[in-house]
């Protein structure tokens, strides 16, 4: 192909992508065509120039490049790309945003080869970092990760976490393309078209930076050629573009964001009319993922009556699991000596990722790693996972399989005080669609649950304790997700506990027994799904239920138990013991007593119920 023909092909494909973005949004009566039109030339050259390597006949080919639309609202452009590549047809393009269509308002994995959902801004680039890490350190395949970003989302802190981590890990297989179209939803962005300031920031973080006119296809091609020559760092292309490019009624005008064009037929004529160009994408070179040697082994176990912190059991179990399974990887938020994921790092350094104090990037990297089939476990203090909650929420939409371990939960951590005490974590993770929430009370439970989570689909949260608890579960007793343990039988009152409060519940039951009150104690280590059958049987047999948890009363164990009993016609009274006042610093036993969730508080509540 000679130079003139190639340039014209780029331009024509760019116009087709614009036209199809307008058509899709017009058919839906909603969408973001102007945000799509600004980046059309950037994507046209990426496709037609052979830079994006996709085997369209095998979209799961491990050697395929990855295209992440961090600016997920530009989905009309993304779907127009899929049409140009022959992955979808024009009929499907016209179903954009319709009920049941794979072409949702923002991309999701319902439509291959989409890796993740990217509707919440500031998430695509952090996830792209995770995929690039997988390619560099795990798969060891020379695929590239191309990430289209919006300039508005450059205000998100998560973008700068990603930019810093990509530079630190020297991810030369990652390219961020910033569509600098100047206009956000309501006004101009902070930097407008000041590409020099964008460039200075990227270079200060250690990226190779390129600034271009994002509508000059020759300059775009030169930039992509430059990308391929950079081998020691990630590259950021900052492209000056115009929102709504090519249509005078919307080009570079405020107030046009997120709206279909008023006169789509006229706009299509202005863009040169409909086209039906097909792109023969360059196929990747054949490649096989790198395989790690697996030493084998078995899970650790502890003797009954030992005192062991569940966070230590997590570290030891995860390390053993890493020896049993070569696909298990670990990430930590620079507290690995507290979560004990450092044990995994010492044994499997090639599969450990230090994410430093950047919880959004940690969760995003885990999402990226699981895109490539790896089995990530990410750990930090449970309280700090709240920083990354939007990433967890979006991970469920992405159909991601994540295992998040949060240690140092509840007032039982003691002197560090309320800033470190996760007291809303059970509630927040229970609210995630399809999630699993576990709170083991001892080390043997923890080890078995860690192993089961490796094959658990969806988002899983494992709540871990700072302090030691008594091992009550025999090593040979089966522990299952959705199960529970009945530690004491009785018919006067049922006490349902989890985590740190299990020891307190047992102590309370022993005190009550001396008073003639026969309490049944249930260790509800699986909060979602909860063992509803055991809970209902206890309610029926005992006539009264006490739930006790080191958590706020909203959304935790107590409400999980109430949900299990919601359809019970003769539901008995359920008394929820939980942390109800803002705690301060103090010794763990003092704080448990202050909250009324120690053995004395549980016994007092049981006496009242038994007397009533």
Return the active site residues.
359
Please give the torsion angle defined by the CA atoms of residues 351, 451, 323 and 66, in that order, rounded to the nearest 10 degrees.
-30
243 and 215 in contact (C-beta within 8 Å)? no
Sign of the CA dihedral 161, 163, 166, 168? Answer: negative
Q: How far does the chain reach from its first CA to its final CA, in angstroms?
A: 89
- What span, in angstroms and rounded, lies between the C-alpha atoms of 150 and 181? 8
55 and 284 in contact (C-beta within 8 Å)? yes
Alpha helices by DSSP H, listed for 325-355, are 336-339, 342-347
HSE-CB of 93 using CA atoms within 13 angstroms? 25
Please give the torsion angle defined by the CA atoms of residues 386, 495, 469 and 302, in that order, rounded to the nearest 10 degrees.
-110
In b/e form, how buried is each residue of 23-48, taking b as 16+ CB within 10 angstroms? Answer: bbbbbbeebbbbbbbbbbbbbbbbbb
Look-up of token digits 């009929």: 91
525 and 479 in contact (C-beta within 8 Å)? yes
Q: What is the DSSP pairing of strand 468-470 with strand 307-309?
A: antiparallel
- Token code pair at residue 315: 């570290």
| Phi, psi (deg, nearest 5) at residue 370 | -70, -20
| Cis before 465? omega within 30 | no
Question: Three-state SS across 212-268?
Answer: EECCCHHHHHHHHHHHHHCCCCCEEEEEECCCCCCCCCCCCCCCCCCCCCCCHHHHH
DSSP structural state of residue 141? -
429 and 597 in contact (C-beta within 8 Å)? no
**74: number of Cβ within 10 Å:** 29
Nearest to 110 by CA among 125, 84, 88: 88
Nearest to 386 by CA among 422, 412, 440, 338: 422
- What span, in angstroms and rounded, lies between the C-alpha atoms of 328 and 403? 11
130 and 355 in contact (C-beta within 8 Å)? no
Longest Cα separation, the chain? 95
Q: Where are the beta strands (DSSP E) in 313-391?
A: 328-332, 352-354, 375-381
Please name every residue paired with 150 in a beta bridge, in sequence order, or none if there are none: 179
29 and 260 in contact (C-beta within 8 Å)? yes
| Cis before 113? omega within 30 | yes
- Token code pair at residue 554: 């909203």
275 and 40 in contact (C-beta within 8 Å)? no
HSE-CB of 444 using CA atoms within 13 angstroms? 18
């Amino acid at each position: 192909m000679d130079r003139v023909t190639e340039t014209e092909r780029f331009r024509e494909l760019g116009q087709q992508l614009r036209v199809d973005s307008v058509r899709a949004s017009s058919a839906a009566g909603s969408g973001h065509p102007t945000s799509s039109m600004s980046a059309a030339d950037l994507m046209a050259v990426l496709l037609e120039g052979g830079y994006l390597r996709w085997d369209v006949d095998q979209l799961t080919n491990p050697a395929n490049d990855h295209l992440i639309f961090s600016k997920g609202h530009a989905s009309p452009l993304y779907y127009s790309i899929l049409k140009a590549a022959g992955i979808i047809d024009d009929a499907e393009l016209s179903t954009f945003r319709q009920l049941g269509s794979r072409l949702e308002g923002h991309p999701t994995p319902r439509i291959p080869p989409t890796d993740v959902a990217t509707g919440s801004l500031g998430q695509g680039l952090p996830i792209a970092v995770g995929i690039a890490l997988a390619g560099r350190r795990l798969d060891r395949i020379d695929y590239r990760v191309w990430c289209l970003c919006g300039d508005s989302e450059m205000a998100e802190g998560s973008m700068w976490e990603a930019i810093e981590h990509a530079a630190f890990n020297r991810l030369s297989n990652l390219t961020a393309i910033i569509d600098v179209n100047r206009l956000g939803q309501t006004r101009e962005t902070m930097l407008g078209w000041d590409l020099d300031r964008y460039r200075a920031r990227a270079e200060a973080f250690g990226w190779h930076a390129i600034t271009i006119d994002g509508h000059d296809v020759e300059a775009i091609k030169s930039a992509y050629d430059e990308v391929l020559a950079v081998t020691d760092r990630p590259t950021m292309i900052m492209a000056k573009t115009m929102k709504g490019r090519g249509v005078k009624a919307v080009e570079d005008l405020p107030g046009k964001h997120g709206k279909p064009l008023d006169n789509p037929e006229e706009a299509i004529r202005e863009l040169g009319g409909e086209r039906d160009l097909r792109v023969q994408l360059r196929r990747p070179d054949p490649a096989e993922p790198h395989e790690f040697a697996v030493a084998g082994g078995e899970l650790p176990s502890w003797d009954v009556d030992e005192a062991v912190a569940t966070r230590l059991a997590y570290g030891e179990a995860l390390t053993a699991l890493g020896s049993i399974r070569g696909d298990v990887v670990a990430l930590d938020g620079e507290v690995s000596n507290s979560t004990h994921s450092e044990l995994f790092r010492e044994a499997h350094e090639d599969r450990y990722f230090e994410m430093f104090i950047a919880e959004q990037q940690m969760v995003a990297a885990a999402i990226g790693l699981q895109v490539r089939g790896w089995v990530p476990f990410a750990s930090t203090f449970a309280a700090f996972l709240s920083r990354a909650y939007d990433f967890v929420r979006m991970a469920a939409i992405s159909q991601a399989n994540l295992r998040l371990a949060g240690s140092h939960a509840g007032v039982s951590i003691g002197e560090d005080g309320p800033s470190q005490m996760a007291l809303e974590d059970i509630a927040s993770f229970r609210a995630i669609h399809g999630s699993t929430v576990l709170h083991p009370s001892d080390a043997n439970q923890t080890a078995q649950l860690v192993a089961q989570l490796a094959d658990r689909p969806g988002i899983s949260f494992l709540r871990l304790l700072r302090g030691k608890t008594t091992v009550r579960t025999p090593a040979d007793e089966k522990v299952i997700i959705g199960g529970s343990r009945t530690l004491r039988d009785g018919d006067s009152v049922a006490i349902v506990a989890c985590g740190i409060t299990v020891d307190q519940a047992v102590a309370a039951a022993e005190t009550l027994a001396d008073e003639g009150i026969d309490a049944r104690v249930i260790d509800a280590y699986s909060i979602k799904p909860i063992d509803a059958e055991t809970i209902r049987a206890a309610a029926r047999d005992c006539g009264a239920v006490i739930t006790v948890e080191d958590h706020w009363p909203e959304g935790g164990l107590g409400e999980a138990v109430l949900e299990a009993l919601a359809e019970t016609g003769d539901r008995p009274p359920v008394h929820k013991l939980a942390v109800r006042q803002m705690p301060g610093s103090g010794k763990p036993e003092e704080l448990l007593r202050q909250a009324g969730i120690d053995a004395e508080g549980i016994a007092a509540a049981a006496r009242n119920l038994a007397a009533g």
